[in-house]
Amino acid sequence: MEQLFHMSALELGQKIRTGDLKVRDVALSYMERIKEIDPTIHAFLALNENRLEERITEVETGIREGRYTGPLAGVPVAVKDNICTKGLPTTCASKMLEDFVPAYDAEAVMRMEAEGMILLGKTNMDEFAMGSTTETSYFQITVNPWNKNHVPGGSSGGSCAAVAAGETPLALGSDTGGSIRQPSSYCGVCGLKPTYGRVSRYGLIAFASSLDQIGPVGKTVGDCAALFEMIAGKDAKDSTSSNHPLENGKDLVSGSLRGMRIGIPEELADGIDAEVKKAILDAAQVMKENGAQVETFSLGLTDYLIPAYYIIACAEASSNLERFDGVKYGHRSKDATELHEMYRKSRQEGFGAEVKRRILLGSFVLSSGYYDAYYLKALKAKALIKQEFDKAFEQYDCILAPAAPSTAPKVGISLSDPLKMYLSDIDTVAVNLCGLPAISVPCGMDSKGLPIGMQVIGDLFQEKKILKAAAAYEALRGAFPAAWDTAEL
């Protein structure tokens, strides 16, 4: 069944529809592969074994009766552990939610199940999505399938590592400041961060509500487009979700590069590793030779991206995580003797160091005397950054940039210097501040054999443009190698 794990999700779906593959064989093969490989990768926190047989039967019956007819019917999928799944633990990789089992599914999960997809399990992440390496997880450190001495990125590192290792053909992640695109780059897979509001956040445990967005991770651009089409759309349960019309998955990736106007910001080349810069420019040259109009331009205000992002994100995090007080749900300290001591000890025991750091920073910038000096200024900077992107999209259909300034660092390095970890988000946070769509697609390898990802950024609700550009480049690039072809898993 080795060939099975090389197939894209769309290829699997096609073979299931034609009867060349059976739903049961596909689902059980992936579950066996997880059990074989994950003890070294540590991508999963929980497996959906108890309901798997029942779900396989449901899907087989639904396909046979014509209820599940979509391109991903019968295809397995994994879900990041901050997205609620009924009857399956959803921990946010935190001691605070170690025993939390939701009574409902997130809207995105409901939509996948309504189309006949099969949930394999929940993937590891940085605690409460706060981190860039998946090392802040309370339970385990996920490693990069290309080289187990390196991180997979974060915070959706578990989802991206699982796809890269062939443990699942597709996965859901969440992106607050690059948490889908950066680990996709590190792991050599494709990851889409949709326009803010395109995908319902109902059932997504919030980090920063104005920045968070659920999105797909897959082997190919087409896989991401198909899953995006499935989970996108208006949801009455999420007041921020949009009813903007959506094209179907095939239309989203169809078309050539001819006549497409592509800009490369001069500022985003600052601080980029030479090998990453070369890979991005080589990819841009391929696009140019195949009909795209490519030029560099000045974006401006890039010095304010990291400060504005971390002030806003931490402020919202401190507000969102206030609910974890040991009273209603989540970890409760057994050592407390009165109410305020219970609050303090429950949070002290339940949250890890990175989460505490961001709560403290967020509480500080929201406090009396500092609100105007920091938080309001960050909001103003955010508005000015959006204006710069508006100007850019008057000239360009898409913007190219690295998905990360370097390839995956070694395990243990980033945690020793949190500020350096924050600065590594320089290429991705602008997209979240402005609510824009962006996709990371593999564009090369460095001298250490680690993947390099190129980010294609579009204007609001212009997923069609970025997916078309990414798919066209992907076709020109040719098949990207699988991690297990070059590494011992």
pLDDT tens string 387-435: 999 999 999 999 999 999 999 999 998 777 777 777 778 899 999 999 9
pLDDT (0 to 100) of residue 418: 76
Among 186, 198, 179, smallest CA distance to 459 is for 198
Q: Which residue has the tokens 């020793």?
A: 416
- What does the angle CA 254 – CA 467 – CA 461 come to, to the nearest 5 degrees? 110
Query: What average pLDDT does the segment 218-246 reach?
Result: 97
Nearest to 225 by CA among 195, 252, 193, 254: 252
Q: List the structure tokens of 77.
A: 């999928």
pLDDT score at 488: 65
| Predicted confidence (pLDDT) at residue 486 exceeds the cutoff of 80 | no
CB 217 within 8 A of CB 250: no
Confidence bin at 210 (pLDDT 50/70/90): very high
Residues facing 441 on adjacent strands: 454
Structure tokens at 11: 């290829």
**CA dist., res. 321 & res. 127, Å (int):** 12
pLDDT for the residue 231: 98
pLDDT for res 369: 86
pLDDT at 304 over 80: yes
pLDDT at 308 over 90: yes
What is the number of alpha carbons within 13 Å of residue 18 lying toward its C-beta? 7
Question: Is 179 tagged catalytic?
Answer: yes
Q: How confident is the model at residue 55 (pLDDT cuts 50, 70, 90)?
A: very high
Q: What is the pLDDT of residue 249?
A: 84
**How far apart (Å, rounded) are the C-alpha atoms in residues 195 and 200?**
11
Q: If DSSP codes are grouped into helix, strand and coil, which group holds residue 66?
A: coil
Tokens 């059990």 label which residue? 35
Q: How confident is residue 270, by pLDDT bands cut at 50, 70 and 90?
A: confident
Helix (H) or strand (E) holding 44: strand 44-47
Q: Tell which residue, 187, 92, 190, has the closest CA to residue 148.
A: 187
Read off the pLDDT of each residue in 197-222 and give the average, rounded to a whole number: 98
| Average of per-residue pLDDT across 195-218 | 98
pLDDT score, position 1: 58
- Which residue, 184, 147, 140, 116, is CA-closest to 484? 147
With 0-12 / 13-18 / 19 or more C-beta atoms within 10 angstroms meaning exposed / middle / buried, residue 477 is: middle
Higher per-residue confidence, 421 vs 282: 282
- Tell me what the pLDDT averaged over the chain comes to: 95
Q: What's the chain's Rg over C-alpha atoms?
A: 21
Are the beta carbons of 401 and 354 closer than 8 angstroms?
no
Q: Express as a percent the part of the chain with pLDDT over 70.
A: 99
Helices 9-18 + 221-231 axis angle, to 10: 70
Q: Give 326-383 as a DSSP string.
A: SSSSS---SS--SHHHHHHHHHHHHS-HHHHHHHHHHHHHHSTTTIIIIIIHHHHHHH
Of the residues 179, 242, 414, 440, only one is catalytic, namely 179
Other beta carbons within 10 Å of 480: 17
Tell me: pLDDT of 30 over 80: yes
Q: How many CB atoms lie within 10 A of CB 143?
A: 23
Q: Which CATH superfamily is domain 2-254+459-486 in?
A: Amidase signature (AS) domain (3.90.1300.10)
Write the CB contacts of 276 (distance below 8 Å, at least 6 apart in sequence): 402, 404, 405, 406, 407, 446, 452
Contact (CB, 8 A) for 422 and 171 = no
Please confirm, yes or no, whether 80 is among the known catalytic residues. yes
Does residue 155 carry a catalytic annotation? yes
284 pLDDT band (50/70/90 cuts)? very high
Rounded alpha-carbon distances, angstroms, from residue 469 to 71, 252, 466:
22, 10, 5
Average pLDDT of span 46-61: 97
Tens-place pLDDT, residues 337-376: 899 999 999 999 999 999 999 999 999 999 988 999 999 9
pLDDT at 2: 60
CA-closest candidate to residue 288, choices 398, 130, 188: 398
pLDDT of residue 487: 64
Tell me the residue type at 478. Answer: G
User: Which of 94, 132, 137, 155 does the annotation list as catalytic?
Assistant: 155
Say how many C-beta atoms besides its own lie within 10 A of residue 386's C-beta.
Answer: 17
**What does the pLDDT average to over 51-71?**
97
H-helix or E-strand spanning residue 184: helix 181-187
In the predicted structure, residue 101 carries a pLDDT above the cut 70: yes
% pLDDT > 90, the chain: 89
Q: What is the pLDDT of residue 224?
A: 98
Reply yes or no on whether the pLDDT at 269 is more than 80. Answer: no
Q: Which of 177, 130, 174, 184 is closest to 153 using CA atoms?
A: 184
DSSP 390-421: HHHHHH-SEEEEESSSSSPPBTTTGGG-HHHH
Q: Which residues are CB-neighbours of 155 under 8 A, at least 6 positions away? A: 125, 126, 129, 130, 131, 132, 134, 174, 176, 179, 183
Residue 261 binned pLDDT confidence (cut-offs 50, 70, 90): very high
